[in-house]
Each structure stands twice: as structure tokens, then as C-alpha cells.
């Protein structure tokens, strides 16, 4: 049976969206008492994504002819895996830093990360038809816009953090780390999209 790596890449991206939706649900109804269990749930999603990445690698090892270079497929799957790792990283930070109240930037990022991972799924779904697609460039630009929206939240959020007189140095350092991790989620989405663009240029 022929392996459809494009479908497997899409399934991997869908785990990212699943993690983003779960993350947004957790923070929308934030309860510090539930963080430990929610962190475990998030890790289970990340573990399933890791297994999907591992399966792609195993199949490539046995593949005689892949639709695109093996190295490119592996690089792309790693880029996508980085997305879900960064989402889990944010949630882990909320737990280990013992966060009891969220800043507004966290809620703003929650929806934006859903938008970013959803757009990444659209790009992955279209990727199989890259030689004929008329929409991949448009989708990539839309993802770039989402990432730029994240940059705006980042810059305004960090400035607000360091201009509030009632925020301690400990709180500043803690929240700076969390906000940077949130912004990294969207950066990783864009990096996965950029990787697909490079693969397309190489194969057309």
C-alpha cells in the first residue's frame, strides 16, 4: 500500500489545532486547581503527535521512492511538531510558575493560536496539490498576517508588563517568559508554512 505522506502531514497538523483548541478552552475557563490535570491532557495530545511524527519517519525509512525528498519531509514534520511542543510549553509554564490569574494577552493569544493552527491545517491540506494550487500563496500570506497580529500583542503586552508600577520583578520575568512562549507558537506555525514554500520552490 502506497504511503500518502501529504495526508500524514495534515494529520500531524491537526494535532496542533487540537492542542490549540484545548489550550484556548482551558484559559477561557481558567481554574488554577485544574492546571495539573489539564497539563496531563495537553501532554497526551503532544504524545499522540509525537507518535504520528515517528510513524512518518519509520515509513520513510522503508520507502523506495518518496513524493518529495525524505529530508524535506522530515524537516517539515519537525517544524509542525515544534508547533505543538510550543503550545505544551506555554501550558507547562502556567503550571510550574503557579499562575493563579491570567493577563489579558494570554486570552488574546488563545484565539490567535487557534487561527494560526487552523490556517496551517488549510495549508497542509492544499500542500498535496502544490504543483497546481492557486491558493497556497494566499493561505501563506493569511498565516503571516496572523503571526504579525501575534507580534503586535507581544510588543504591547511586554511594554504594558514593564510599565505597570504594581508588577514585581518576579512577575515581570515570569510573564515575559510566558508571553514569549506564546509568540513562539505563531512563529513556529509560520516556519512550517515557510518550509512548505521552500519545498514547493525546490520541486517546481
Query: For residue range 171-200, what is the model confidence (pLDDT) as tens digits?
Result: 999 999 999 999 999 999 999 999 999 998
Number of domains in the chain: 1
- Which has the higher per-residue pLDDT, 204 or 9? 9
Which sign does the torsion angle of CA 201, 202, 203, 204 carry?
positive
Mean residue pLDDT across the chain? 92
Q: Are 74 and 197 in contact (CB under 8 A)?
A: no
pLDDT confidence band for 116 (50 / 70 / 90): very high
Range of the domain at 130: 5-203
Query: Could you give the CA distance from residue 31 to residue 138 in angstroms, rounded to a whole number?
Result: 38
Predicted local confidence at residue 143, as pLDDT: 97
pLDDT confidence band for 96 (50 / 70 / 90): very high
Predicted local confidence at residue 3, as pLDDT: 72
b (16+ CB within 10 A) / e for 11-33: bbbbbbbbbbbbbbebbeebeee
pTM value is 0.93
Predicted local confidence at residue 134, as pLDDT: 86
pLDDT confidence band for 69 (50 / 70 / 90): confident
Predicted local confidence at residue 111, as pLDDT: 95
- Which has the higher per-residue pLDDT, 58 or 146? 146
Asked if the model's pLDDT at residue 66 lies above 70, the reply is no
pLDDT confidence band for 68 (50 / 70 / 90): confident
CATH code, domain carrying 106: 1.20.58.220
Predicted local confidence at residue 173, as pLDDT: 94
Amino acid at each position: 500500500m502506497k504511503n500518502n505522506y501529504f495526508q500524514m502531514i495534515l494529520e500531524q497538523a491537526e494535532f496542533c489545532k487540537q492542542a490549540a483548541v484545548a489550550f484556548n478552552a482551558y484559559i477561557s475557563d481558567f481554574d488554577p486547581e485544574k492546571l495539573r490535570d489539564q497539563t496531563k491532557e495537553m501532554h497526551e495530545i503532544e504524545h499522540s503527535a509525537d507518535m504520528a511524527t515517528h510513524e512518518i519517519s519509520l515509513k520513510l525509512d522503508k520507502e523506495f521512492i518518496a513524493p518529495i525528498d525524505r529530508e524535506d519531509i522530515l524537516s517539515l514534520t519537525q517544524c509542525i511538531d515544534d508547533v505543538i511542543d510550543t503550545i505544551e510549553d506555554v501550558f507547562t509554564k502556567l503550571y510550574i510558575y503557579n499562575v493563579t490569574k491570567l493577563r489579558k494577552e494570554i486570552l488574546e493569544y488563545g484565539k490567535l493560536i487557534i487561527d494560526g493552527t487552523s490556517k496551517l491545517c488549510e495549508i497542509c491540506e492544499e500542500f498535496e496539490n502544490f504543483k497546481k494550487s492557486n491558493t497556497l500563496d494566499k493561505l501563506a500570506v493569511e498565516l503571516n498576517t496572523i503571526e504579525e497580529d501575534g507580534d503586535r500583542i507581544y510588543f504591547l503586552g511586554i511594554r504594558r508588563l514593564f510599565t505597570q508600577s504594581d508588577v514585581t520583578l518576579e512577575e515581570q520575568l515570569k510573564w515575559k517568559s510566558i508571553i514569549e512562549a506564546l509568540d513562539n507558537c505563531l512563529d513556529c506555525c509560520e516556519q512550517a508554512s515557510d518550509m512548505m514554500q521552500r519545498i514547493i520552490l525546490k520541486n517546481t
